[in-house]
Structure 1
Amino acid sequence: MAPPKLYIGRKIRELRQAAGLTQVQFAERLGISTSYLNQIENNQRPVSAAVLLELAEKFQIDLSDIAQTDSDRMLSALSEALSDPLFDSHRPTLQELKLITQNAPSLARALISSHQAYRRASEQLVSLDDTLGRGVSAAEPTPYEEVRDFFHFVDNYVHDLDVAAEKLATDVGLPDREAGAALADHLEKRHGVRVVRSGPGEDFLRRYDPASRTLFLNPYSPAATRTFQTAFQIAALEMEPPIAGIVGKAGFRSAEAAEVCKIGLKNYFAGALVLPYQSFMSAARELRHDLELLAARFGASLEQIAHRLSTLQRPGLKGVPVFFATIDRAGNITKRHSAAKLQFARFGAACPLWNAHQAFEAPGRIVRQLAETPDGVRYLSVATEITKSGGGYRALHRSYVIALGCEISYAGDFVYADGLDKDSRAAFDPIGISCRICERQNCPQRAVPPLKRRLSIDHNVRTSLPYSML
């Protein structure tokens, strides 16, 4: 199969403008004609290998960075939005969608946001009595949704915070020292903050008292949780200015979204501090992404390890592109990120054929799956159930699944691929994104018909579904 043509006109234009060069000057530096450069910048012609090599040599860029783009995830989100029957008479082709996401990403995001508003309005109209008197605008995304999309479209990587966390980790001796003790020492020496156990009857994970400069941690929480909460407090005391700057540039619609994002960014810094980028990525490669061994080496939880693997997107030093998600028992995806081609559905529950659901039936085990999506892309997926409790026998236990995976071309980097027949098509389970946009004809687990297919009903024939799709 021939490699896909590379249309990266917007990136080339941004690179030229950052260098302060006109098209004539930039073309001369690359040894190409001005008209060819103009066609490249307008995505009328792909970038050739020779031009890529000139870019690398003349402008010292990392080819892996310029070849990678967030257009895949934006294209997936836009395709899902435009699969709505609302657009049946105005459905663009795949090539047109690619041109929009590559040349006009702001327009693509505006279309996605508009469709989200339409969906919210429709859902609220269907359940009107549930929304009467709430005074909530259906057209506005919730603060949580805004923040989730913010992290999704920055590729779940925040460079300034990641670099600052890695520097601080080096300063306090991580990962060579035990993280909990090292971070507690740092809090006391740098900020005069003592870390102590909370008292009986206090059921929070973390409580900071500014007056006494005391950080109270729940003694019944796992050690990895207490360490993470200590790192979060360091972020709160030291990283407020850069976090405020990031939030200010994001342009959130509401103060609530801005505050939710600040929490998310402090969590991001905490994870990057406990699991510093380069040492963690080196260990991940050495241990072949074995979640349990990585958790033992860094004193972290399986969820912290899996989430951190999804953030290894530093320009020039990227890790294996993985997807990561958490799923509750109802099938709702409560956290999601994908640096791989797999993009999670923005509406509806996850595909019931995905091994994330099977993990609930095998507590304490890591469940493996070879899977293929309707577009023909194949994946390795691993999932395991996580149970959390903040107390004893009578305490409520929260149960959910974490799922992590990669495209099959990277499966050799994961210990979980050992022994699986990756060359056999029959070994791959057919999964989808969600039923509402899945095109599979005869899936016995289908919950609802796909949005953009007409149905045919034959009263004389019944298969696993009471209808067929035209």
Structure 2
Amino acid sequence: MATQKLYAGAKLREVRTRLGSTQKDFAAKLGVSLPYLNQMENNNRPVSTTVVLALAQEFGLDVTELSAGDSERLVSDMREALADPLFAESLPPVADLRLAASNAPAFAHAFLELHRSYRQMQERLASLDEALGREDARATPSPWEEVRDFFHYCDNYIDAVDRAAENFATREGNARNIRVAATATLGNSGVTVEFTDTDQIRHYHSETGRLILSRRAPHETQTFQLLLQVALIKQDPLLEATLDLARFHSAEARAIAKIGLANYFAGAALMPYGPFQQVARECRHDLEVLAGHFGASVEQVAHRLSTLQRPGAKGIPFFFVRVDQAGTITKRHSATRLQFARFGGACPLWNVHRAFELPGRFLRQLAETPDGVRYISLARDVTKPAGRFGAPLRRYAIALGCEVRHARDLVYADGMDLDREAAFEPIGISCRICERTACHQRAVPPLERRLTVNPNLRGVLPYQVT
């Protein structure tokens, strides 16, 4: 029976390090050459019987310490950690685990510690969500959150739907007659379009084929709703196929996502990818120029800019967000490293909140997040007109931005001092996960940080973050 070879390079390095010996001195005491010791320490060669005896006689080492027991335990622990669904798509083979355990045990231990910390953090966050009143903290996400995450992890770009919309716009003509084309397409499908004095923006009667739009709605909103109905009627097989691939957990999530995909088609048809990207570059992403060229609203243009992530033809990675007057995020997407808080409001130091104070104006801001990344952010209020006296107005503020390295491609960066350190205002994501300890606008303490409360000391905050 063949004797199993003993590979114990990590243990040899550990013994040598513990003795404070160089490789040259250690090799001499073991009676082997320096290259041979180097190969054993890197597990390119097994530990010979001569070396085992020398370790026992010269250093009094218990040779059982060279056994593979520790490595096997490490392999077992790593296999258990890698059973986490987090690694479902990237499970390494057992052979790689054995190499890590034998050649880099410190790395293996660090991986296990990192995974342990990750699980503990997930449990703490779940407990926090539960304490904050989210009934689904330990179950599946709500339908709205599931759809939101679907678009987020697609980088807010759905290739098949985007190309179908672009083909429709190209086939039917340029953006200036897309409204006529949409109406004609619906007419050819047996749909009659009517404009009436109603508070409902769009109402399609499937049994009679009547599409009723509000004549009070802005022109660009009417066009958008026409294109949305085109998507629901003419692109239904494509939308359903996309939904099948998404595998939503509930019928409600699927229904919400279908409306989202129809909205996506409408925006992409109103502002087709190629022409829109070309004009955006030529006017250096001037929102008002783009809105006038494509017959869209400023909000529609800003949202569309955040979707230009087609492989091989990507635009500037933008973030886009819309907040209400309470600061709650109602739309969010980021193709940048900036990620918005999933729950609650945005950082109060962000210029998007000031847009309500200065209606009708574009506000510019240079900002730096706690990770040191710098951005240029553009904010403006958006009012949804009611169309009649006494009807409630809907007021929002939108923000569009990108990393400051792209600022030269934005007309809004003209005249800003991009090289001055003090020009960048410190902003965060949300108070609960922001690490800034001296923020004068902090609402709640950061998670995972200890507080010191001194009744004899009152600074900007009634506590100190340690």
| TM superposition score category, shorter chain reference | 0.7 to 0.9
Mean Cα deviation higher: 244-253 or 114-123: 114-123
Partner of 1:428: 424
The CA distance in 2 between the partners of 1:402 and 1:246, in whole Å, is 28
For 2:393, give the aligned amino acid: H
Partner of 2:144: helix, strand, or coil? Answer: helix
Partner of 2:335: 339
Question: Does 2:203 correspond to 1:194?
Answer: no
Q: Give 1:251 shift.
A: 1.8
Partner of 1:49: none
For 2:174, give the aligned amino acid: L
Partner of 2:142: 142
For 1:187, give the aligned amino acid: L
Partner of 1:327: 323
CA contact (8 A) 1:117 1:140 kept: no
Structure 2: any 5+ residue segments left out of the alignment? 1-85, 87-106
Larger Rg over CA atoms: 2
> 1:111–1:257: structure 2 CA closer, same or farther, 3 Å change rule?
farther
The match for 2:388 among 392, 395, 406 is 392
Partner of 2:155: 155
Question: Does 2:215 correspond to 1:206?
Answer: no
Q: Give 1:389 shift.
A: 2.5
Partner of 1:179: 178
CA contact (8 A) 1:371 1:429 kept: yes
The CA distance in 2 between the partners of 1:172 and 1:267, in whole Å, is 19
Partner of 2:436: 440
Partner of 1:124: 133
Q: Give 1:192 shift.
A: 2.9
Partner of 2:268: helix, strand, or coil? Answer: helix
1:357-436 aligned within 5 A:
357-436=353-432
Q: Give 1:195 shift.
A: 1.8
Q: Give 1:119 shift.
A: 4.5
- What is the count of residue pairs matched by the alignment? 357
Q: TM-score with structure 1 length normalisation? A: 0.72
Q: Give 1:113 shift.
A: 8.8
> 1:435–1:368: structure 2 CA closer, same or farther, 3 Å change rule?
same
Q: Give 1:339 shift.
A: 0.4
Partner of 1:64: none
Q: TM-score with structure 2 length normalisation? A: 0.72
CA contact (8 A) 2:166 2:272 kept: yes
Partner of 2:454: 458
Mean Cα deviation higher: 344-353 or 271-280: 344-353
Q: Give 1:210 shift.
A: 2.5
> 1:291–1:459: structure 2 CA closer, same or farther, 3 Å change rule?
same
Structure 1: any 5+ residue segments left out of the alignment? 1-73, 75-91, 101-107, 126-130
Partner of 2:52: none
CA contact (8 A) 2:169 2:178 kept: no
Question: Does 2:270 correspond to 1:274?
Answer: yes
CA deviation vs aligned residue, 1:34-80 (integer Å, no higher than 9, x gap): xxxxxxxxxxxxxxxxxxxxxxxxxxxxxxxxxxxxxxxx9xxxxxx
> 1:306–1:111: structure 2 CA closer, same or farther, 3 Å change rule?
farther
Partner of 1:461: helix, strand, or coil? Answer: coil
The CA distance in 2 between the partners of 1:386 and 1:145, in whole Å, is 24
For 2:442, give the aligned amino acid: R
CA contact (8 A) 1:179 1:299 kept: no
Question: Does 2:335 correspond to 1:302?
Answer: no
The CA distance in 2 between the partners of 1:385 and 1:440, in whole Å, is 28
The CA distance in 1 between the partners of 2:122 and 2:178, in whole Å, is 41
Partner of 2:259: 263
Partner of 2:255: helix, strand, or coil? Answer: helix
Partner of 2:242: 246
Partner of 2:431: helix, strand, or coil? Answer: coil
> 1:116–1:453: structure 2 CA closer, same or farther, 3 Å change rule?
closer
Q: Give 1:117 shift.
A: 5.5
* More relative contact order, 1 or 2 (CA 8 Å, 6+ apart): 1
1:24-43 aligned within 5 A:
none
The CA distance in 1 between the partners of 2:400 and 2:358, in whole Å, is 16
For 1:195, give the aligned amino acid: V
CA contact (8 A) 2:129 2:137 kept: no
Partner of 1:381: helix, strand, or coil? Answer: strand
State percent identity of aligned pairs: 53
Tell me the C-alpha RMSD between the 2 structures. Answer: 2.5
